Homo-oligomer: A and B are copies of this chain.
Amino acid sequence: MVMNIKTYMQDIGLKAKKTSYDLAKASSAKKNQFLSDLANRLSKNESEIIKKNQQDLEDAKKRGLDAAFIDRLTLSKKTIESMVTGLLQIASLNDLIGEISNIKQMSSGIQVGQMRVPLGVIGMIYESRPNVTIDAAGLAIKSGNSIILRGGSESLASNSFLARLIEESLIVAGLPKECVQVINTKDREAVTELIQMNNFVDVIIPRGGKSLIKMITEKARIPVIKHLDGNCHIYVDAYADIENALSIVDNSKTQRLGTCNTLESLVVSRSIASNFLPKIKEIFDAKNIEIRGCANTIKVIPDITKASESDYYEEYLAPTISCIIVETINEAIAHINKYSSGHTESIISNNHGNAMQFLREIDSSSVMINASTRFADGFEYGLGAEIGISTDKFHARGPVGLEGLTSMKYIVLGTGQIRG
C-alpha cells in the first residue's frame, strides 16, 4: 500500500511540475478567464455544492465532531458567495508574473535587474474548510503556480466536487487540467510523501492545528510557509489617548474571539493604569471578558484573577485576556518580544518617539500604531486575498497574497560583454 501511495503521489508531483512550466508562461487573459469562469460555475452549481457538502456534514455528525468543527466544514449560500467574490477579486489584481524591476547599469556595461516568476508547485495541506480549495486554486493559478491540494478527509465529498468544477474551468480557459490536482485518498502516507517530494514541490503551505504544523515542520524536506499562534498584544503607553485606547482594546479583543489577530494580552504603562484599567474593566465586564492580571494590576482593579506565567504565553481564543503593568516602554517591548508569538502587536500612544521605537523594535509580522490588531489580514492590507498568514520571517512574513507565491530571478541584459 505504501508503495502504491508513493507511486500515486510521484505521478501527481511529476504532472504538477510539468504543467507548472506551461502555467508560468500562460497569459494573464487565460488566467483571468479561468478565475471568472470558475466564479460563474460556482454560482450555477450552488445547490449541488451544498448537497455534496451535506454528505460530509452528515458523516461528521455521525462521528460526533464538535460544533466549531461542523461550522468550519459547512458550505452555505453565503460562503459560496464569498468564494465567488474572492475569485473575481483575484482576477482584478495585477498579474505580477514577468514584472521586471530594479534594472541598474553596471560599470562593466551589463544591465542587471530582477524578474518576478512563480515558485513552481505549491503543496497545500488543510483541514475541514472546503472553501480553501477554491481560494488556494485561484491564488495559485493567478500567480502562475501549479498546486496540489490535500484537504481534510472529512471534506472529501465537497472537495472532490469543487475539484471537478476547477478542472472544467481550467479546460475552458485552455490551461492544463493538472495545474490543480486534489489528492483523493484518505491515507496519511500521502501527506508524508507530499512534504518530501522536493524534486517536484517548491513550497508547502499548511493550514490547520498545531499538531499538523508540528508534524509537517519536522518531516518536510521542502520550505514551509507556516502559520502558528496569534498571541497578540496591545501596549497602552503613558501617552495614550484614553478614548482611543478603550475603543481599540475593546475592538481588538471582542469583535471576534476566535481569530488569530484577536488581542490576547494587555500591557499597560503604570502612569496611565489607574485611569485606563477601571474603564476597560467596565467594558470587559459587560461582555463577560475575564481579566487575569499581575500583582500590580490587581492593586488597581482588585476584582480579577491573578495571572500565572503561562497565561502570558496563552492564545486564549476565548473570553479571557491577560494583563501586566510595566514601568517603561523598554520593559513593554522586552515583555512582548519574550511572550508574543510574533503575529501582531499594537501601541496606543501619541508620543512620536515611543510609537516609532515600538514600530522598530517589536519583532512581529505586523506592528501597529493606534490601530486595532483585527486589521492584520490580507484583505485589510490590500492584498486582495491571502493564502495564509506567515509567522515565519523567511521569504514571506505576515499575510501572504500573490507576491508571497512568487520569487525573483536575476536578469542580465548585455550586448556582448565578457568578464575581464
**Residues in A lying within 8 Å of B, measured CB to CB:** 21, 24-25, 98, 104, 106, 108, 110, 112, 115, 117, 119-120, 202-203, 217-218, 221, 223, 241, 243-244, 247-248, 250-252, 255, 337, 346, 359-361, 363-372, 374-376, 380-382, 392-395, 397-399, 407-419
Contacts and interface: CB of A to CB of B under 8 A. Distances in A.
Given A244-B416, A251-B419, A417-B371, A382 B119 contact: no
Contacts of A382: 104, 106, 112
Contacts of A410: 365-367, 376, 381, 397-399
Nearest to A419: B374
Given A393-B120, A393-B202, A367 B417 contact: no
B417 A370 contact: yes
A112 B202 contact: no
Of A106, A248, A363, A412, most B-chain CB atoms within 10 Å: A412
Given A407-B393, A410-B366, A417 B110 contact: no
A217 B223 contact: no
B223 A419 contact: no
Contacts of A203: 394
Given A120-B393, A394-B223, A417 B372 contact: yes
Given A24-B361, A394-B395, A247 B416 contact: yes
A115 B244 contact: no
A17 to B, nearest CB: 10
A367 to B, nearest CB: 5
Contacts of A368: 110, 411-414
A117 B218 CA distance: 27
Contacts of A417: 248, 370-372, 375
A226 to B, nearest CB: 11
Contacts of A392: 223
A248 B25 contact: no
Nearest to A342: B409
B418 A372 contact: yes
A408 B404 CA distance: 12
Contacts of A21: 337, 361, 363
Given A25-B361, A371-B418, 8 more contacts: A104-B382, A110-B368, A119-B394, A247-B416, A250-B418, A367-B412, A368-B411, A376-B412
Contact of A375 (B108, B115, B247, B365): B108
Nearest to A417: B371
A336 to B, nearest CB: 12
Contacts of A218: 221
Closest 6 CB pairs of A and B: A371-B414, A251-B418, A368-B412, A374-B419, A244-B416, A395-B395
Contacts of A223: 223, 392, 394-395
Contacts of A418: 247-248, 250-252, 255, 371-372, 374
Contacts of A397: 407-410
Given A115-B359, A407-B397, A409-B364, A419 B337 contact: no
Contacts of A346: 412
A395 B224 CA distance: 11
